Chains A and B, each alone.
Chain A
Amino acid sequence: MSELFDAPFRELLRDVVRHVRELRAKEDEQAHARRRLLGPSGTFAGHRRYVAGDDLRRVDWNVFARSGELFVKQVEEEQRRAVTVLLDGSASMLAGDPPRFSGARRLVALLGAVALARLGGFRVFAGARLWAYARLGELQRLLRDLDGLTADATDQDAMLERCVRSGRLPGRIVWVSDFARLGEVARGLRRLAPWRRQLVGLLPRTADDAGPALEGRAELRDPETGARLALRIDPGLAAALRDELARLAARRAHEFAERRVPLVTLDLPAADDARASSWLAGGWLDKL
């Protein structure tokens, strides 16, 4: 049993899956009606390259006969249900107490549980890694992958570049990051501009984003650059920092608004908090 995905959180995941299944039963009736219109496999929407984990029954063998490469047929329903997570694996995600990266992985696990429970595809780009999950039964593998994931100072620009080059960004794209460096944010939004209608920014907020909870002498460290800053925190400095953080949040919101990309924020619960009311607060899942 990992510390990240401990028993209470796994119980939360099960509750979420159960809840999604109940919702899916209702949606299935609507899906039958749509299938009557679009066919049992949904409306053909195009081809995409075969990736590991794809159902071999969906391989378009005619295209393979012509091109010699494997392509699978995409239908509208699949595209709508697929979720792709771009998880910022940079070291800056280690900031906060508990670290933002831990909360972010829990959020990704929640997202994966919901997506897989809806019978949709789920992909995770994390640094140089790409994981794809097609069935709910792969939720445990997702949890293992996330549990073993480390914030290894991977360049986020490089990750986005690999993601864009893959050309396979179906369904909803959720970019999970601290969005602390506006330059990276702007560059990422520019790269993902072709998918801006599918793109959602998810900011797991920690106490680090709210302002200093410290007083007196402290040493702050940027995990990504390794830079350190020793200072004496007093109310005046705390107020000035809050102003700076508010200005940063405003500019970040402006960047997302300018690209017409929604930005969803969630105050991360404490590490030992596994309540659904805490992890699903604000209905952020619905916004995705």
Chain B
Amino acid sequence: MPALSFEQPERLLLLAVLLPVLLWLARPQRPRRRAATAHLAAWEAALRRLGRRPIRFRALRFWLLAVAVIAVCGASAEPRIGAVDGPLRLRVLLDASASMAAREPDGTSAWERAVGRLRAVAAELPDGVTIELALLADGATVLRGAPADVLAALPPAPRAAPLTVDPVELAVAQAGPDTVTWVLTDGRPGPSAAFRAPFLDVLGSTLANRGIVRVAIDDHWPLPEIDLRIGVAGIDPADVRRALRIDGGDAIGPAPEPASGEPAAAGAPLEVSWRLLRAAGGELRVACAGADPLASDDAVVLRVPPPPAPDVAVLGEPGDAVLQRAAAALAALGGGRVVAADDAAARPQLLVSDGGRLAAPVPRQLAFGTRFGPAPEPGAGPAVERMEPRVADWSRDHWLTAGVDFSELLVRRAIVPVPMPAGAEPLVWADDGPLLWAVDAADGRRAVVGAFRLRDSNLPLLPAFPQLLRRAYVWLCGPGGAAQLVAAGPLDAAESDLTVAAAPPARPLPPFRDPGRRLAVPLLAVALLALAARAWA
């Protein structure tokens, strides 16, 4: 039988005053005289003839009035029936990680079941109970408001992101005497700490899933090489070539076969790597072939920036084969072409010079034996030259020269390229001064300046020369871009691993505070009925 409770029970004390007063008022007035008669029947007949009633205590009228007063007093005490004491707020921590979208064999997902469960619970919540819904994935998104509004704001699908928020910490942090924290999760990743939540529904089951769980990109931009390493889970190492598809379109050249290694441990992701060559740039998609329960970890998309492809202008003596080969090598690194320095139609982005004079280093210049500054006055003496400077040392710290061997460098004749612009840093020293500088001006202009002409040295013959050209190209182009993942990254291995058996017993929600059904209006109706009946009685 539902319990009866009062919000203002002290008002019932009015009855202790009102009922005796009513009883006193309902008593007939004392007669002025009393007399005995043998003709009481005649008196009663006379009253009946006149349609009158004798003066007497009318129990029915009194009790009807008493019922009306009791009902009104009861209504003023705000009675409720079926009221239940309990928490007033329901805080739902809904696992919105990617694994919640995994399709079960019956075609439903844990997300759909969680939302359905949430809707069912919300529909049965008593009036006055509020819902706060936190969608947990790689962050927490909190929805507050009326249950209908909160449910309407639910996204149709979980986020394609792993669960990085600990629901238990949130549950403990947000626990309160009037708050119930309810965790809805698929139980992944792993035997989660969420299972310690006081009120829990685990909606996932054990599934086999393949997924990309890790992506590592090493983009050598502006060089064309891109090293791509992908961690995959749920794939047999022998089946990697068939199970993985790479679709680069024009972004890369023909994709080579991937190289795969053994997983570090049983159940650990398998690492698959490619050495890709940048083509025109664009989007690159790596996907697991075939369908599995969880689609969100089956593919990753990378955006590959286009190569810089600078046109290389050559400033030097015509027919200088070494210079031309150097320029061609530079152009080949970035996919550009070699143009003449005096070609008005060309807009070279890189200048290779050998000898000659320039007012100052131009941006992206690789200069050998080029003099800077104004031309000497007529009649001025010959320029100062350094004869057979001997390499003394080179910088081991600068990116351009670190690890490059200049010990075999022989220079027959060198110049003194003064004045050097601000920001010039010597890279290679001879016993009489620097032989090679890196100019990194404050305005962003970069140049590599050598104090000798290529033909006055054996540098083109050294292994250090192609290394220097390649590094100079990268350094001169500067940081321009790198391949990046499009949108969300891959899930982590634990999120993609659906094989985890997670079936702790569900811990259902406690009863919420139900204010019950108000009885004030029915009681007032009873009072009106009693008064109407009393008027008729």
Contacts and interface: CB of A to CB of B under 8 A. Distances in A.
Interface of A: 92-97, 99-100, 178, 180, 208-209, 214, 216-225, 227, 229-232, 236-237, 240-241, 243-245, 248
Contacts of A240: 46-47, 49-50
Given A237-B47, A237-B52, A243-B46, A227 B40 contact: yes
Nearest to B35: A220
B107 interface: no
Interface string B41-81: 01111110110101110000000000000000000000000
Contacts of B37: 95-96, 208, 220-222
A105 B36 CA distance: 18
Given A180-B39, A237-B46, A230 B33 contact: no
Contacts of B50: 236-237, 240
Contacts of B31: 217-219, 230
A214 B35 contact: yes
Given A230-B56, A231-B52, A232-B55, A100 B46 contact: no
Counting from the closest, the 10 A-B pairs by CB-CB distance are A240-B46, A219-B31, A180-B38, A244-B42, A230-B55, A222-B40, A95-B38, A92-B38, A241-B46, A95-B36
A229 B32 contact: no
A222 to B, nearest CB: 4
Contacts of A220: 34-37, 40, 43
A209 B36 CA distance: 12
Of the listed residues B33, B37, B44, the one surrounded by the most CB atoms of chain A closer than 10 A to its CB is B37
Contact of A244 (B38, B45, B52, B54): B45
Contact of B32 (A180, A216, A223, A224): A216
Contact of B38 (A219, A222, A229): A222
Contacts of A93: 38
Q: Which of A96, A97, A222, A225: most chain B CB closer than 10 A?
A: A222
Contacts of A97: 35
Among A96, A178, A220, A221, which residue has the most Cβ atoms of chain B within 10 A?
A: A220
Contacts of B45: 244
Contacts of B32: 216-218
Nearest to A221: B36
Given A232-B55, A236-B50, A237-B46, 6 more contacts: A218-B33, A219-B31, A219-B35, A221-B35, A230-B54, A230-B56
Given A231-B47, A244-B45, A221 B29 contact: no
Contacts of B42: 241, 244-245, 248
B31 to A, nearest CB: 4
**Secondary structure at chain A's binding surface: helix, strand, loop or mixed?**
mixed
B46 A209 contact: no
B46 A94 contact: no
Contacts of B40: 220-222, 225, 227, 229
A229 B33 CA distance: 12
B155 interface: no
Nearest to B42: A244
20 contacts: A180-B38, A209-B38, A216-B32, A217-B33, A218-B33, A220-B37, A223-B38, A229-B44, A229-B54, A231-B47, A231-B54, A237-B46, A237-B52, A240-B46, A240-B47, A241-B39, A243-B46, A244-B43, A244-B49, A248-B39
B147 to A, nearest CB: 64
Nearest to A238: B46
B28 interface: yes
Interface of B: 28-40, 42-47, 49-50, 52, 54-56
A3 B30 CA distance: 32
Contacts of B52: 231, 237
B46 A221 contact: no
A229 B34 CA distance: 10
Contacts of B35: 97, 208, 214, 218-221
Which interface residue of B36, B45, B49 has the most chain A CB atoms within 10 A?
Answer: B36
Contacts of A241: 39, 42-43, 46
Contact of B34 (A100, A221, A243): A221
A223 B37 CA distance: 7
Nearest to B46: A240
Contacts of B49: 240, 243-244
A181 B43 CA distance: 13
A167 B34 CA distance: 42
B265 to A, nearest CB: 105
Contacts of A227: 40
A207 B268 CA distance: 122
B42 to A, nearest CB: 4
A96 B55 contact: no
A217 B528 CA distance: 32
Nearest to A231: B54
A208 B47 contact: no
Contacts of A248: 39, 42
Contacts of B39: 95, 180, 208-209, 241, 244-245, 248
Nearest to B33: A218
A266 to B, nearest CB: 16
A237 B46 CA distance: 7
B28 A230 contact: yes
B151 to A, nearest CB: 69
Contacts of A231: 43, 47, 52, 54-55
A288 B495 CA distance: 128
A96 B38 CA distance: 8
Nearest to A212: B43
A99 B39 CA distance: 14
Nearest to A240: B46
A97 B35 CA distance: 9
B376 to A, nearest CB: 146
Contacts of A225: 40
A220 B31 CA distance: 9
Nearest to B55: A230
A230 B55 CA distance: 5
A140 B206 CA distance: 123
A254 B490 CA distance: 121
Given A237-B46, A240-B50, A241-B46, A217 B29 contact: yes
B414 to A, nearest CB: 144
B94 to A, nearest CB: 76
Contacts of B54: 229-231
Contacts of B38: 92-93, 95-96, 100, 178, 180, 208-209, 222-224
Which among A93, A178, A219, A227 has the highest number of chain B CB atoms within 10 Å? A219
A222 B36 contact: yes
A221 B54 CA distance: 13
A245 B44 CA distance: 12
A69 B34 CA distance: 54
A221 B36 CA distance: 5
A245 B52 CA distance: 18
B208 to A, nearest CB: 96
B339 to A, nearest CB: 132
A114 to B, nearest CB: 27
B36 A214 contact: no
A236 B52 CA distance: 11
A244 B33 contact: no
Contacts of B56: 230
A236 to B, nearest CB: 6
